[in-house]
Amino acid sequence: MTETEAGSGRFLKNWIKSYIISRAKTEPSGRFHLWTAIMIISVCLGRKCTIQLGPELIFPNFYLIFVGPPASKKSTSIKYGAELLKEVTTIKFAPEAITRQQFFEELEAGSKTIQFSDGSILGYSSILVVAPELSVFMGDKKDLQRIADLCDMYDGRDQFIYKTKHSGCNFIANPSVWLWGATTPAWIEDSMPYLAVGGGLASRVVFVYAPGKAKAISLTDLEPFEPKLESQLIHDLTLIQEMKGSFQITPKGRETFKKWYIEVHPKIIPTDRRLLYFAERMPVMAIKLSMVISASQRDDMVITDQDILWSIRTLNELLPEMPMAFGGMGRNILGKQAQMVREMIKENKEIPKFLIMKTLRNEINEYDYQRIKLSLLGEKFIRLDYREHEEWLILTEGEEKNG
């Protein structure tokens, strides 16, 4: 691709799509690569890029957590993206294992001052937490302070004051935090308090779930990233890093967003109630994501109707699988076991009762099975069939399409 095709000195017409292509011959899921590209651009735009919507000033920070079973290459996808990001970004990377006081000291140390074309000056402090093992960063599951701090930092308050044992009070102007981690459904289920899923922190987190690797590639067959494309990615990302100022939405973009917000968004009712508050935050997330999508293609800092539509579609695609990130977490005492049965059915499409009972013999008994079966029938996740006196659970057509 030539520079003239992309405009403004760029080599690539669409940075996100080019990044996905560059990582196509690796094992992580494509959705991990997609959201890695989104996170990279989000960090490069930083607090210096905003959009003013009435009284609301929004900047494109994300809390992004990759979730999947062990060995699903979650951390690998983060490693590929973080290594590229370090080539261009000036943001402060936080240590993965860090105390509360150290976290705010690192955030304060990430302070910068930038001058805009109109002569105005902005002082801000930014930090990126890269946590391939999220449990290391979150620490003791009984300590809710880190969750409270992350909730407090997410919305971009204009100042923060914290007290230390020896230094008195420290003032942080315009703090901004990015969180990029990976974990398993089992860890979320065991370690995150119930109130953190549904409202609180989880409503601010984009959970990206993948059931496993996209493909199996022997280490001896792994190929290096294509040098020319890698160079172009770094070159264009450097230009994105230099962007600063305010994004604007075209009239058609505003109309597209308004139509979705008024007519479609109210009808988005997740089948899993734990996602209700996430759905409520989707409009703001869609605006943030639209800024990233615009920047991935152009330097004009203009959000078009197509940017809005791509953003909405990208978020919508997460919803069907997002409950899988939480495992069986919830108030249902059989939630964990029901999730195990659900996953077996989704994987096999149809499965006999005896195989479920044999596989999960240490998890459920006959009474548990009957309760789980009735629940899955009630939500129309399955239908029943009987073959040679054996009961079969069959995934419904609607759920097959969702999968």
Question: Which residue's entry shows tokens 């290391």?
Answer: 136
User: Around Cβ 336, how many Cβ atoms within 10 Å?
Assistant: 18
Torsion of CA 290, 294, 296, 298, to 10 degrees: -170
Q: Are residues 140 and 244 in the same domain?
A: yes
Q: What is the DSSP letter of 98?
A: -
Q: Are residues 371 and 274 in the same domain?
A: no
pTM for the structure as a whole: 0.80
CATH of the domain at 368: 1.10.10.10
Q: Are residues 372 and 293 in the same domain?
A: no
pLDDT recorded at residue 7 = 47
Contacts of 155 (CB under 8 A, 6+ apart): none
Host domain of residue 34? 3-325
> Where a domain ends, among 295, 325, 355?
325
CATH of the domain at 14: 3.40.50.300
> Where a domain ends, among 289, 310, 325?
325
pLDDT recorded at residue 182 = 94
Query: Smallest Cα–Cα separation from 403: which of 323, 328, 330?
Result: 323
pLDDT recorded at residue 2 = 28
pLDDT recorded at residue 150 = 87
Q: Are residues 271 and 384 in the same domain?
A: no
Q: Are residues 38 and 86 in the same domain?
A: yes
Q: Are residues 291 and 307 in the same domain?
A: yes
Listed as ranges, residues in the chain with pLDDT below 70 are 1-8, 140-143, 163-168, 191-199, 327-333, 399-403
**CA 356, CA 293: separation in Å to the nearest integer?**
44
Query: Smallest Cα–Cα separation from 73: which of 222, 203, 176, 246?
Result: 222
**Model confidence pLDDT, tens digit, residues 19-75:** 999 999 999 999 999 999 999 999 999 999 999 999 999 999 999 999 988 888 999
Q: Are residues 133 and 177 in the same domain?
A: yes
Domain count across the chain: 2
Q: Read off the tokens for 72.
A: 């699903």
> Where a domain ends, among 325, 342, 377?
325
**CA 16, CA 87: separation in Å to the nearest integer?**
17
Q: Are residues 109 and 204 in the same domain?
A: yes
84 by Cβ neighbours in 10 Å (0-12 / 13-18 / 19+) ranks as buried
Q: Are residues 77 and 220 in the same domain?
A: yes
Q: Are residues 388 and 312 in the same domain?
A: no
Q: Are residues 310 and 356 in the same domain?
A: no
CA end-to-end span of the chain, whole Å? Answer: 35
Q: Are residues 313 and 391 in the same domain?
A: no
